[in-house]
Amino acid sequence: MRTLHVNKGKTIAQTITDRTDYAENPEKTSKGELIIGYQCDPLTVDAEFLLSKRQYKHITGRDQGRRDVLAYHIRQSFKPGEIDPEHAGRVGQELAMRFTKGRHAFIVATHIDRAHIHNHIVFNSTSLDCTRKFEDFKGSAWAVRRLSDQICLEHGLSVIENPQPRRGRHYGTWLGDDRKPSYRELLRQAIDSALEQKPADLDAFLAAMKAAGYKIKHGKHLAFKAADQKNFTRLRSLGDGYSEQDIWDCISGKRPRTTSSPQVDSSIRPNLLIDIQARIQAGKGPGYERWGKLHNLKEMARTLIFLEENHLTDYAALEHEAVAAAASFRDLSAQIKAAEARMTEVNDLQKHIGNYNRTRDIYRQYKAAKFSRAFRSEHEGAILLHLTAKKAFDALGVEKLPTIKSLQTEYGKLMAEKKRLYRDYRQARDRMRSLQTAKANTDSILRAIPASELEQQR
């Protein structure tokens, strides 16, 4: 998602017109037939957006000038040959409605000038009532992608299994699993392979890179070039974990090598992301009727996105995490119960020590009177409290009475520990529930795949 500011050397009206005209290009939208407008007419959308800005300024008195965000632009691409233009427009409209909650006017222009169909969604930053602006937030692009993935899955469409940043690619390029890896991706794989050989020093690492077919450029920054590559690629452009310092730390053993995503042994279990996505796209088959309703289809989409975001596309990993989460939850429950039990003991101990101290003199007198019945009858209550306290000390195995102050200190520590455990307990409970729900949904989905097909995949 991109923000639209006032272009340099242009007015607000010209900037809005330029962007909407690009989206509504008749040569790309079948002469304008593939444009959908919400709370605005596609023919006059620029004028309507501009009018809302003036009304907003009049109502609120706020004016950010050239720093103001005029609109937001979302691009949504689909896998080639998988969707028709009209369906793509409806998917884009649903994405815009659900993301803006229907509070902002927008247009959805579906472009068909490339092999893959893609949407341009432009929504007004000013709300429909002209009293507020859309509040962009950290991670909004991720939120749009996640929502788009869920909607696409609900419509039986493909999503990218491991989405990567564009890094200069054209927005219209489909980055699915069948795309050709970039030079940077190939270089990352070569570096990972070289480091897996555990080179003794930097020279050994560079020798392994040469053996992999890379030319090396020494200078202020190390750079590599593949045999068919035109320009050198610097390490610092490869992202986290691939800087010169990161590589040197790995070689010297200062820290273990980490990768951006977990490695999955696909020969053991089917990739759940592919299996579930294929199941949704199939739209038919044994057991699919149970998932035919929209609610269940949305649950499948949410499950798939949860598995992808938590790197649990291998069934064994999902199973292991679900068991581990349940064990962690039970362990925290046991710790909380132990803390509560000890708090009860400490509380009772304080009460008995208080009673014991208050009745100690009377009990001594009772003992000095050789346990006289008349004395006991006169001080029955105090003597019973004293005996009860002594019995409680014996039951708790107390040989030397602690001070009240030390018990109060221990009680305070136990209370703080209990609060901390409860925070972890709630997190563990939520994670356990999420994993168990995801596993239950996954099991239901996989049960819909014939046993012979599942065995063949394994």
**pLDDT score recorded for residue 266:** 31
- For the chain, percent helix, then strand, then coil, each to nearest 5? 55, 10, 35
**pLDDT score recorded for residue 458:** 47
pLDDT above 80 (res 66): no
Mean pLDDT in residue range 58-63: 88
Mean pLDDT in residue range 191-203: 83
pLDDT above 80 (res 273): no
Cβ–Cβ under 8 Å, residues 313 and 321: no
pLDDT above 90 (res 96): yes
Mean pLDDT: which of 15-29, 148-162, 308-322, 415-429 is highest? 15-29
Cβ–Cβ under 8 Å, residues 241 and 224: no
Which one-letter amino acid corresponds to residue 117? Answer: I
**pLDDT score recorded for residue 430:** 84
Take residue 27 and report the two structure tokens written for it. Answer: 């040569």
**pLDDT score recorded for residue 255:** 64
Mean pLDDT: which of 221-235, 249-263, 267-281 is highest? 221-235
Mean pLDDT in residue range 224-231: 87
**pLDDT score recorded for residue 33:** 92
**pLDDT score recorded for residue 172:** 47
pLDDT above 70 (res 398): yes
Point out the least confidently predicted range of 102-111, 172-181, 321-330.
Answer: 172-181
399-437 pLDDT, tens digit each? 788 888 888 888 888 888 888 888 888 888 888 888 877
pLDDT above 50 (res 157): yes
Higher pLDDT, 68 or 301: 68
Q: Three-state SS across 314-364? A: EHHHHHHHHHHHHHHHHHHHHHHHHHHHHHHHHHHHHHHHHHHHHHHHHHH
Mean pLDDT: which of 102-111, 247-256, 273-282, 437-446 is highest? 102-111
**pLDDT score recorded for residue 256:** 61
Cβ–Cβ under 8 Å, residues 80 and 116: yes
Higher pLDDT, 156 or 178: 156
**pLDDT score recorded for residue 272:** 43
Mean pLDDT in residue range 210-233: 87
Mean pLDDT in residue range 253-276: 45
Residue 120, classed as helix, strand or coil, is: strand
Average pLDDT, the chain: 80
Mean pLDDT in residue range 328-347: 87
Closest CA to 105 of 41, 158, 150: 41
pLDDT above 50 (res 448): yes
Percent of the chain with pLDDT over 90: 19
**pLDDT score recorded for residue 283:** 52
**pLDDT score recorded for residue 218:** 86
Higher pLDDT, 71 or 434: 71
pLDDT above 80 (res 91): yes
pLDDT above 50 (res 288): no
Mean pLDDT in residue range 237-263: 69
pLDDT above 50 (res 284): no
Percent of the chain with pLDDT over 70: 82
What single string gives the DSSP state of each residue in 262-299? ----TTTS-BHHHHHHHHHHH--STTGGGG-SHHHHHH
CA–CA separation, 214 and 208 (whole Å):
9
pLDDT above 90 (res 12): no
**pLDDT score recorded for residue 180:** 57
CA–CA separation, 191 and 187 (whole Å):
6
Q: What distance, in Å, lies between the first and last C-alpha atoms of the chain? A: 39
Take residue 439 and report the two structure tokens written for it. Answer: 């596993």
Alpha carbon 191 to its chain's center: 28
Point out the least confidently predicted range of 1-10, 34-43, 284-293, 436-445.
Answer: 284-293
Cβ–Cβ under 8 Å, residues 251 and 201: yes
